[in-house]
Amino acid sequence: MAGEPAFVTACNRTLCQRRSGAPFSVSARWRREQLVSVAGERVRYERTGASGGSAVLHFCPHCGSTVLTELQALPDFVGVPVGCFADPRFPAPQAAFWCESKAEWAEFPDGTVLTPRQDFPSS
């Protein structure tokens, strides 16, 4: 990836909880033109998202980690799970989606936009 991500989000949707094996997933999204290269083998899985659009997930066939995501709802962006960077200084999410299914004990940093579903903030 070239440059900084356009935004970072957390998803509390039960499908993302199951996919990530965690109470929520955190993804960084870059503009598609910032994608410099994708090395190594990937397995592609496509499912229908809550919006009715497709969600394409790319996995490493050796370890099973999600390495790239593409959402029909955000066609100009590609996502990379923040855990792929193993960087404790990675920026916190600016928004958390699907908070209606958030673990009761989960908290996000002050200033994080929290939405009950996948309602993208207007600003």
Cα separation, 16 vs 3, in Å, equals 26
pTM metric for this prediction: 0.88
Kindly report the number of other CB atoms within 10 A of residue 85's CB atom. Answer: 12
According to the model, what pLDDT value does residue 118 have? 83
Q: What is the torsion angle, in degrees rounded to the nearest 10, for the CA atoms of residue 88, residue 24, residue 83 and residue 91?
A: -40
According to the model, what pLDDT value does residue 8 have? 97
According to the model, what pLDDT value does residue 81 have? 96
According to the model, what pLDDT value does residue 119 have? 77
The domains of the chain, with CATH numbers, are 7-114 (2.170.150)
According to the model, what pLDDT value does residue 50 have? 76
Distances (CA, A) of 32 to 36, 45, 68: 9, 19, 12
> Which ranges of the chain have pLDDT less than 70?
120-123
